[in-house]
Amino acid sequence: MKRKRLLAGNWKMNLTGKEAAALASQIATGAANLQRTEVWVAPTFTSLAPVAQALQHSQVSWGAQNAHWEPCGAFTGETSVPMLKELGCSFSLAGHSERRHIFGETDELVAQRVFGILKGGLTVVLCVGETLKERESGQTNAVLERQLRAVLDKIEPEQVKQVIIAYEPVWAIGTGKVATTKEIEAAHACIHSFWNSKLPDTCPPILYGGSVAPDNFAEIVQVPLVGGALVGGASLTFEKFKKLIAISEEVTVLVRN
C-alpha cells in the first residue's frame, strides 16, 4: 500500500501551554500543502487544549502521549480516551520506552492501554524497542516479538487500521546515538514479518524513533519498511522540525508496507 510518510513529534514533558501553542502555530504554517508527509504532534496533557486551538484549521493532527483504558474512574494521575477526544485528539501513544522503563509499564499494561485507545476510536502509536543490554545479548528480535505479541494475541482484524507501530531502540532515544540503517532495516523487517505471521498482509506502518535529526533523516526515510519517524528532541524547535518536514517532502522513495 502506498501512503504518506508520517512525521510525529513527541514533545514528552516539555513546553508550557503557551510555548506549545506557539510551536504548534509555526508547525501549522510549515506543514501546509504537503505532498508526501503527514505531520502529527503529541504535547503534554496540559498543552492539548491550546495546541488544539492553534492547529484547528491546519493539516496537522494532535494526540496524547498516553491514555487509560477506562473512560472514567478512580485512577489518579491518568487521562481517558473520551477526555482526549473532547480535545480533538486523533491518536495516543502507548508503551513508549519511558513509560515502560521509568514507570514500569509491562507488556500487559501497555496492551490494556492499546485496547482502550482502539475501543475509544483513536489511532494508537504502539512503541516497541530493545534496551542496549537486550541488543548486546542478541535478544532484539525476541523482545520486539514479545512486545508485539501482547497486542497481536488479542487484536481484532478490523482494529489493525487504527494502529501505527514505532520502533524505538531504547539506547538511541535522546542519546544522539542513532541506529545504523542496517539495524533499523533488520528491526523493521522483524516487526513486519512477525506481525504478518500472525495476521497475514496487515502489518501497520512502522516509524523509526531515536535521535532522528536533520543530518540523519534523509538516510533513515529511505530504509525499506520505514514509514516515517517518531521524533523527540528535534521536534521541539521549529527550525529542526521544519528541516525534517522538508527532507520528507524531498525524498521521493515511496512508503510501502
Question: Which residues contribute to the site for ligand 13P (CB under 6 A)?
Answer: 10, 96, 168, 173-174, 209-212, 230-234
Residue 256, C-alpha cell as written in the block: 510501502
Instruction: Compute the distance between CA of residue 23 and CA of residue 3 in angstroms, rounded to an integer.
Output: 26
Closest CB to ligand 13P among residues 14, 33: 14
Closest CB to ligand 13P among residues 24, 41: 41
Instruction: Compute the distance between CA of residue 117 and CA of residue 54 in angstroms, rounded to an integer.
Output: 24
Note if 145 is an active site residue: no
Q: Which of 105, 168, 183, 188 is catalytic?
A: 168
**CB 125 to ligand 13P: min, Å:** 9
Q: Which of 68, 96, 134, 145 is catalytic?
A: 96
Note if 68 is an active site residue: no
Q: Which residue is nearest to ligand 13P (CB)?
A: 232
Residues in contact with 13: Cβ distance below 8 Å, sequence separation at least 6, in sequence order: 44
Beta bridge partners of 7: 39, 229
Residue 140, C-alpha cell as written in the block: 532484539
**CB 11 to ligand 13P: min, Å:** 9
Task: State the pairing for strand pair 123-128/255-256.
Answer: unpaired
Closest CB to ligand 13P among residues 207, 225: 207
Query: Are 84 and 92 within 8 A, CB to CB?
Result: yes
- What are the residue numbers of the active site? 96, 168
